[in-house]
A and B are shown apart, each in its own frame.
Chain A
Amino acid sequence: MTALLELEDVEARYGPVHVLHGISLAVEEGSVVAVLGPNGAGKTTTLRAVSGTVRRSGRIRFAGRALDRLGPDGVARLGVSHVPEGRGTFSELTVWENLRLGGYTRRGSIQPELERVFTYFPWLSERRRQQAGTLSGGEQQMLALARAFVHRPRLLLLDEPSLGLAPVLVAELFRIVRELNEDEGLTVLVVEQNAHLALQAADTGYVLEAGRVALAGTSAELRTDDSVRRSYLGY
């Protein structure tokens, strides 16, 4: 296996505030990788550095291509889907239009992708004409995910998918992600507060602290690590 995504010594800042102080991590093709850590550790910023929505420096390579000079639209066109925290649906547009935008970079018909997405989220098909802003929070989260699937990315960046969702929905969401990973080899880099869930779904994980990688390992290793257990798993 080769690394699909590689970050080497990546730094990022918001204005004068330095958030990432040299992050290095690798995401193998076909794996699910979790990024854990306390608030403000730079988890979200790591994803944003990959998708180009924050000013960053350092080396970021995706499928052998340097990303560090590309803007978010360029990164998306290479096959990276970023589902940002707070969902980022187009609330003024209809469900169908949201999905259509998900397939924006794909040429030709997106009908097969839509069909596939509707098998996961059958209710989306019935409500395709509804304005996305009128969906509930959980539904919007599902829509954001569905939109990313229509894109058919090689790499999915998921930011806090469990935020504000009922536990049942969270479990469902992770089940779908896992299924896509196993059936279609979708590579996922997921940021999650709920470490328990994340490590269940992930093959490997990174723990960030204050903008640096504090710990890395397979999910099994991390689950048994004392500091991780105390800080993030709570037992």
Chain B
Amino acid sequence: MVAAASRLENLRGRGGVPPVGLLLVAAAVGLLVGCLRSSIFAQLTVQGLALGAVYGSLALALVLVYRATHVVNFAQGELAMATTYVAYQLIQWGLSYWEAFAATLAVAFVLGTVLEVVLIRPVQHRSVIAAVIVTVGLFILIDGIVDWIWGGALKFMPPPFGTKTYDVGGVAIARLYPGMFLVVLASVLLVWALFRFTKLGLAMRAAALRPAESALVGVRVDWMLAIGWGLAAVLGAVAGLMAEPTQFVLQPTLMQPILVYAFAAAVLGGLDSPAGAVVGGLAIGVSLTLVVQYVHPITSDLQTPVAFAVLVGVLLLKPSGLFGHREVRRV
């Protein structure tokens, strides 16, 4: 847990705020103490971190899209759901789970890129409402297309990490959760490294921050924004594929609650902060899992309302989130 926390510290990079760092360290210490004292607590924490990684991955997708095009993509979750169906189909056609996983990421990238070019570019500069509604239309359209192709019946995919459990000091932990956590974390780190260390990543960051100046140094800004959407779709696909085994079945509503958690995570971290999205996702994942277990009036039916409360609470207390930048409004 501490290792995970320190990795996150690194992810945050420079420019973080010390009190937030302290808060995170305190939370990590609290979790660690809890894990040592109670095995159920430990199980739940691992589970919460794994789910939180999924939320964080989708939240990161939302943040990438928001940074690139200043659009909140309400269809991000449905897109992830659709790509999970693609993986299901590929497995039906005989690919192994991980072959299908890789192929699906490629499909997701193309899909995300094409959507940006075809649907978002025409409305992007018009109005916030128009862009939001196009993604809302996409939400509905994807639902319809998935239902059209695959039907609403439950589908089953092979478990990606087998069905074994680990025994860690008397605590039984299903292999699924650490597996999920590592896969999501690996993809998040890969995307981060792409942005941080490659020329393409630098150009993408520049294009999102200052499109006009980026064009002046020869960056094809339009392409960069489209690639940003593609990468977001890839992260979403990872989130969808890793969320599916936690629900044991594949159905069209796979990502709808997760989208709300991802929104809460993105807002918690600051809508323009990639590291914040991941930290926010982990925080939401762990706290929801623990709250549902230990705070009795709150049952699992109330998970989304609680996430909603977190979202609104953060927006009211600290609208820029834990790591975000304050927006300056002009008259």
Contacts and interface: CB of A to CB of B under 8 A. Distances in A.
Interface in B201-224: 202-203, 205-206, 209-210, 212-221
Contact of B213 (A88, A97, A105): A88
Interface string A90-101: 101100010011
Nearest to B220: A73
B105 to A, nearest CB: 27
A18 interface: no
Contact of B203 (A81, A89, A104): A104
A88 B220 CA distance: 17
26 contacts: A51-B216, A53-B212, A71-B215, A72-B212, A73-B214, A73-B219, A73-B220, A73-B221, A76-B216, A76-B217, A77-B218, A81-B216, A88-B210, A90-B206, A90-B214, A92-B210, A93-B202, A97-B202, A97-B206, A100-B199, A101-B202, A101-B219, A104-B203, A105-B217, A147-B217, A151-B217
Candidate in B214, B216, B220 with the most chain A CB atoms within 10 angstroms: B216
Contact of A53 (B209, B216, B217): B216
Contacts of B210: 88, 90, 92
Interface residues of B, number: 17
The number of chain A residues touching the other chain, given as a range, is 20 to 34
Interface of B: 199, 202-203, 205-206, 209-210, 212-221
Given A100-B202, A101-B202, A101-B203, A72 B216 contact: yes
A101 B206 CA distance: 8
Contacts of B214: 73, 90, 101
Contact of B209 (A90, A105, A151): A90
A132 to B, nearest CB: 11
A76 B221 CA distance: 12
A205 interface: no
A84 interface: yes
Nearest to A157: B216
Given A53-B212, A90-B210, A105 B202 contact: no
A104 B220 CA distance: 10
